[in-house]
Amino acid sequence: MHIVIMGCGRVGSTLAHILEDNGHSVAIIDRDPQAFRRLRSGFRGRRVTGMGFDRDVLQEAGIESAQAYVAVSSGDNSNIISARVARETFGVDNVVARIYDPRRAEVYQRLGIPTVATVRWTADQILRRVLPEGAEPLWRDPTGTVVLAEVTFNPAWIGARVREVESATGARLAFINRMGEALVPKDDTVVQEGDILHVVAAGNEMERVNKVLSGIPVEEN
């Protein structure tokens, strides 16, 4: 994916590095060229000096080929204006704006502009919106040790009981989304077709959890 970010502060630079590490193409915009010093020396993305709601600046950043636009500058007005330009003028569907005033955030959410706030949480929430479903945790504790994540599973797990899933993965099945409603499972709750599983696990164990659930259950002796 090509992703355009407006604002090379802590959130913008952190986000740019994470996205680039994940193999995505990134362009980052800031009106202050000194802000780009936050980017590591090996950053390969585009650095564009200017305002994120300027059409020429957005075009220089590759907005016409972008799959997502993120506005995380220090100004609420600049963020929301640029997000609207990206969506309404250039047709970018995945648009996220950082808004500091929670009252404004509620208004823009109702207008269909997703809004977020705070540094690590902001980066996580933005990644969840612009990357494929399930690619990033829904929540992580402040140390990053424990995560809550949505996981997919092999159809072979349909009919398995929660205790079997937890035993095989080593993760806690926190809740199940079943037909649009959240269900707190019991040990003998059976996984059904169409269920969306949400697990709590150590962050460094999630790769193994996903690997187990993508395979078929192993019968215990």
The phi and psi torsions of 36 (rounded to 5 degrees) equal: -70, -10
Q: What is the pTM of this model?
A: 0.56
Per-residue pLDDT of the chain (221 residues; tens, 9 = 90+): 999 999 999 889 999 999 999 899 999 999 999 999 999 999 999 999 999 999 999 999 999 999 999 999 988 888 989 998 999 999 998 898 888 776 666 667 667 777 775 555 566 667 666 765 554 567 776 556 888 888 889 999 999 999 999 999 999 999 998 887 889 999 999 999 989 899 999 988 988 998 999 999 987 65
Distance CA 4, CA 62 (A): 7
Closest Cα to residue 96, out of 64, 58, 122, 74?
122
DSSP assignment of 147-215 equals EEEEE---GGGTT-BHHHHHHHH-SEEEEEEETTEEE---TTPBP-TT-EEEEEEEGGGHHHHHHHHHS
Distance CA 214, CA 204 (A): 17
